[in-house]
Amino acid sequence: MRRIPSARRGGPTWPTLAAELLRARDELTVAQGVGLALRADRRALGASQRAYAERRGWSKTHQHRLEADAASLRLGQVIDALQGTGYELAIAREGEELPVGTRPETPRAGLGRRVWPVDWRDHELIGHDRGGRRFPADREVRRVSSPPSWWLWRHATDIRVQKPAWTAAPLPTVWSEELRSEVTTRVAVGSATVEDMDTTAATPRVDRPRLPDGYGIPETAEGQLLWSDVEPRLVQAMHYWITSVRPDGTPHSVPRWGVWLDGRFWYDGAPTTRHTRNVEQNPAVTLTLESGTEVVIVEGESLATRADADSLGARLSAAFGKYADSGYAPGPDSWSGADGGGLRVITPRRAMAWFAFPTDCTRFRF
């Protein structure tokens, strides 16, 4: 992907991919969502396209069509392909959303929650190699601000070769059903959005963190916290600390206002801040609360997003009402513009919490 440098004092800088990412999310189709769901399942298993196809009992060509052009297949083939992946197709009334935590009057067993386009990894939407191809699903793909060492060895002296914007490394192959989602998510039919599996619907896996001998972490599950013990603190907190990584690898921490809603952390800010520039290069962040004795630590990825005024925007505005006495009360349309009003969302990957260390020290994996 070609990037055009713009000059500033201190050397060249590169424009971000935020606009391209927002456009890709807005234009996401149901067929593309099906492909992303199957790629996510392959990623969870660390399986190549060929190995996954063999496991599912069909050809590699059929797997490729499912991921790249599901719209050309029969509906029954798509439904069959999603069986056992943790995703399913669902028909939803356009413009109608269930309040958080609610279910239909006669819920089906395993019915999950919507998956929004923001839940898909950035590189699945806009990441391509120099040939314009998507990276294999069984690779760990990251955006880079400087070329990796292998590129420098091969091409550093050749100005004709474009610098890579992404790198990919193999993932370990793990054939474990534990890596699959415990709750079925669903792709909305008739809408370009794909609904999110949030942590109010999907309980994270719980275990003990691995710390060196001498820390006194119990070896049994007795005394472990539940996610329902931890999440209310994220909802009720007024002040949060977010740590990101500068392009030179050094850490950067900043206190932020925000809200925990639908199992994720939402916050906003100017695109020119040090924090935003950091996460546009490297989305990995750590979110913590203020207490050093009743501790909640969340690790995840910060991604740019937007919120329509009549749906998510209204709910975010209500949640941000906790800051009204401090002079900040954003309206429902604050994040509905093309640039999202600086809105970002942190999707958790891991968390750790304790309120009586080390007895209840607990790790959560999403």
Between CA 39 and CA 48 the distance in angstroms is 10
Is the separation of the CB atoms in 306 and 351 below 8 Å? no
Q: How far is CA 317 from the centre of its chain?
A: 22
H/E/C letters for each residue in 158-193? CCCCCCCCEEEEECCCCCCHHHCCCCCEEEEECCCC
Contacts 24+ apart (CB under 8 A), 98-103: 100/198, 100/200, 100/261, 100/262, 100/315, 101/200
Peptide bond into 358 cis (omega under 30): yes
How confident is the model at residue 243, as a pLDDT? 97
Strand locations in the chain (E): 6-8, 11-13, 87-91, 139-143, 166-170, 185-189, 205-207, 240-245, 251-256, 259-261, 264-268, 284-288, 295-304, 343-354, 362-365
Q: Would you write out the chain's pLDDT as a tens digit for each of its 366 residues? A: 344 444 344 444 444 567 787 888 888 888 898 999 899 888 888 788 888 888 888 888 889 889 988 888 888 888 888 888 888 887 766 555 544 433 344 444 444 567 777 777 777 888 877 777 888 877 778 777 666 666 666 666 676 777 777 777 765 444 334 333 333 333 333 332 333 333 344 578 899 998 888 899 998 999 999 999 999 999 999 999 999 999 889 999 999 999 999 999 999 999 999 999 999 999 999 999 999 999 999 999 999 999 999 889 999 999 999 999 999 999 999 999 888 999 999 999 999 999 999 999 999 998
How confident is the model at residue 174, as a pLDDT? 41
- Provide the token pair at 173: 């192959």
Domains defined along the chain, listed by start: 1-201 (no CATH), 205-365 (2.30.110.10)
How confident is the model at residue 193, as a pLDDT? 31
- Provide the token pair at 119: 């839940």
How confident is the model at residue 9, as a pLDDT? 41
Note the pTM of the prediction, 2 decimals: 0.52
Q: Percent helix, strand and coil across the chain, each rounded to 5?
A: 30, 20, 50
SS3 55: helix
- Provide the token pair at 329: 């009360």
**DSSP tag of 49:** H
